[in-house]
Amino acid sequence: MTAVDPRSVERAVAHAALSVPGVAGLQPGLGRSLADAAHAAHAAHAAHAAHAQHAPGADAAPAPAPAPGAGVRARYARDSGVWHVEVRCVLTEGSRALDTARAVRARARAAVNRQAPGGCVVAVTITRIVGDVRDRARTG
């Protein structure tokens, strides 16, 4: 049994993954991207409706920024007592994908174990590779 919030595990893993050299960022999964888009559309509609009715104080909250754990999904399997973590990374051009993925996995495991000691399975997916902006500035 665990009392650890999966979101805190996701945030810790995201921070760990972003500290690995060669990781340009994390890419949220489709489900989270769609949920964020739907929330933003709902908030915009609510703000428009409130403005149209001239309701004082009925302004909708702004759409949230992507969650700090975006690009990381963590779930705890109670039957086995193991955390299952998925990390979706965007790498910088020139980094070695396999070495970077291994480093992300190692740091993600360490982050999970600091949050919730016990078993942990980490899957790292490289979703894309982007060019290094600094190199483009020097050549362009």
Pairing verdict, β 82-92 and 23-26: antiparallel
Nearest one of 17, 27, 18, 6 to 107, comparing CA atoms:
17
Q: Is the pLDDT of residue 95 over 60?
A: yes
Query: How crowded is residue 32: how many other Cβ atoms within 10 Å of its Cβ?
Result: 18
82 Cβ neighbours under 8 A, 6+ residues apart: 76, 118, 119, 120, 121
**Statement: residue 48 has pLDDT above 70:** no
pTM over 0.75: no
pLDDT in tens, 56-81: 444 444 444 445 568 999 999 999 99
Indicate the helix (H) or strand (E) that contains 17.
helix 6-18
SS3 75: strand
DSSP conformational letter for 2 = -
